[in-house]
A and B are shown apart, each in its own frame.
Chain A
Amino acid sequence: MTQKVLVSGNPRLWNRSVGRYPYCPGCQHPLMERLLAEVIDELGIEDRAIGVTGVGCHARLCMPLDIDVVQVIHGRAADAATGIKHALDGKPIVFTIQGDGDCASIGSEGFLGASHRCERISIFMLNNTNYGTTGGQMGPTTLMGQKTTSTPEGRTESHGYPLHVPELVATMRGVCYAARGALTTAAQYQQTKKFIRKALKRQMDDVGMTFVEVLVACPANWRLKPVESLKWIQEEVIKEFPLGEFKDVDRT
């Protein structure tokens, strides 16, 4: 089978004229929109893909994607995705887009429940190390020493430590794929795209739960220029959150 690869222009399924454009300058969420639009097209699943978003900057990420979408409240995307998958008898390909706060803090029982029940869904967590929508408070993935509006002196031991979700779910039998990517270079974009494609492919093969974390820049709340933000991911964030695959098995 020949694989369709977009050479130039916008992906077919990425309709950016839908809705208001909600992102800050330098935000990498639109890049994730583009990546998903490409992968869904390449896998030929636009007719049965259903995206689920929670609440946060990621909430409108599925808006411009030309697929069926469900939005649920903060932290509950994994549960809603589970309901969709079962109600439609396992036929659709269901993925969630969640932020680090939405997935790993308020939604932690949701992703852990889906992981141990071996739900055939894919969770894509965008990690920008803070709560972007509400103005940049500490998130579960905030780096040690990182200043946020709720850690004005920087995150210390008294706030606890950054949470590594792909590494965590990789230990669970119900999870067949866990990886972390970033989007600061073209090479990283291609690598992340490979991770997302693999996660969806594993779901199409009905293997188990799949999880991909993607490191994304948040210049507005990091108080950095867009290019500085990318550099900060490369030099600091990746040190805490290494890129790569943590689990990749074809049966649970």
Chain B
Amino acid sequence: MERVFIQGNEAVGEAALTAGCHAFFGYPITPQNETFEWFAQKFPKMGRAFVQAQSEVGAINMVYGAAATGKRVITSTSGPGWGLMQEGIANLCAAELPCVIVLVQRGGTPGAPSVQHAQADYLSATRGGGGSGYRNIVLAPASVQETYDLVQLAFYLADKYRNPVVILSDALIGHLMEPLELRELKFDSLPEKEWAVRGKGQQNDKIRRYVTFAAVVQGREPYPTMMSFAKHWYDKVEKMKSEVRVEMTRMDDCKLWVVAYGYTARVSKEAVNEARAQGSKVGFICPITLWPFPEKAISEAIEKGAEKFLVIEDNIDGQMIEDVRNASQGKAEVHHLGLFARHLPTPAGMILPHTVFEEMKRLL
């Protein structure tokens, strides 16, 4: 198996290639430029599409058009560009068009604007900022290999549910360089995209296709009424909720459990291992899917005796902590360690393993 030494942002490109992605549309923004440039350098030479859009608004609607043709398509952005894409993402969901959107988080929360790392887009990514109500599966890698694997999974899940899938990375995971095994993941086979537009002459049945977000309004099959579409939508979201993925290292009698994703998961893992080496019983939960959130992992931990959860996320007032609190249903204390715990009071400051270690000690 081929092994390469690349950064997380480039692993996105390699994974897209492995997954048979045909088109990339994007707009320059730090800290995801290596992804954008990877596609610019590789895709045109391979006869695949790369377009530098006039804005992220343009990019996400180019994704809409490309997704309507049934080809696998991807875009990549960071916080401000993510904001501009919200309308388009809501529309992709409404039209049931599959695509992969990579969001490499950067600073930008009030008080901490920077193009360096942060984890401040959790709520926006998992709840969605566009109108009319929709859901996206959100996958969070914590290494270069995971970035590569989860982007492949994202393409599969997007096609399976005909829905956009979001990869929530961050500037540190994006710029982290690690050895990567270029392994193609195997997934179940998917049905043909018989709904896609290709030009009527390219359709097997030579019957025209009509891709629209307004299927209900037009009263057409297969959802002739608002309620029939609503039922279909509800069932689909319920199925998407079964796609929970979580890394959970359990120990019996753990009173304290650390919960973290992305770069702080890497940091926390080191701290947890150190604590265990010193004889402390600490559990660790690393959600891979942020939506659907692994609520069962939290309730299972409580059944095993958890009394406190420590959520490590590099933002000001806590975002994922809301999901942990919700899942713990008041049966355990939930603590947050965030941006104020950085080793430097600057955009370059990080939450380091020994800081997490000290906080665990304090709570134990």
Q: Which among B22, B25, B69, B87 has the highest number of chain A CB atoms within 10 Å?
A: B69
Total number of B residues with any Cβ neighbor in A under 8 Å: 44
Residues of B within 8 A of A48 (CB): 199-202
Chain A, Cβ-Cβ closest to B59: A79
Contacting pair B65 A70 (CB below 8 A): yes
A57 to B: closest C-beta gap in Å: 14
A184 to B: closest C-beta gap in Å: 30
Contacting pair B200 A81 (CB below 8 A): no
A73 to B97, CA, bound (A): 13
Interface residues of A in 82-123 (CB under 8 A from B): 82-89, 91-92, 109-110, 112-113, 116-117
Residues of A within 8 A of B202 (CB): 47-48
Given that A87-B71, A87-B73 are known contacts, is A82 also in contact with B51, CB under 8 Å in the complex?
A: yes
A66 to B201, CA, bound (A): 11
A116 to B73, CA, bound (A): 23
Contacting pair B58 A109 (CB below 8 A): yes
Chain B, Cβ-Cβ closest to A48: B199
Secondary structure type dominating chain A contacts: mixed
Residues of B within 8 A of A110 (CB): 54, 57-58, 61
A218 to B: closest C-beta gap in Å: 21
Point out the residue from A20, A68, A79, A89 that lies within 8 Å of B197, measured CB to CB.
A68
Contacting pair B65 A66 (CB below 8 A): no
Point out the residue from A46, A63, A82, A113 that lies within 8 Å of B200, measured CB to CB.
A46
A69 to B211, CA, bound (A): 6
Q: Is B276 in contact with chain A by the CB < 8 A criterion?
A: no
Contacting pair A79 B53 (CB below 8 A): yes
Q: Is A72 in contact with chain B by the CB < 8 A criterion?
A: yes
Contacting pair A86 B208 (CB below 8 A): no
Contacting pair A83 B23 (CB below 8 A): yes
A164 to B346, CA, bound (A): 49
Query: Could you say which of B34-42, B112-120, B212-220 contacts chain A?
Result: B212-220
Chain B, Cβ-Cβ closest to A85: B65
Interface residues of B in 94-151 (CB under 8 A from A): 95
Closest 10 CB pairs of A and B: A47-B201, A83-B65, A113-B54, A80-B65, A79-B61, A83-B62, A87-B66, A48-B199, A86-B49, A71-B212
Q: List 18 A-B contacts (CB under 8 A).
A: A47-B201, A63-B210, A66-B208, A69-B211, A70-B212, A73-B213, A80-B65, A80-B68, A82-B62, A83-B63, A86-B25, A87-B69, A88-B71, A88-B198, A91-B199, A109-B54, A109-B57, A109-B58
6 more A-B contacts (CB under 8 A) besides A83-B64, A88-B198? A68-B208, A70-B211, A76-B91, A79-B65, A84-B65, A84-B197
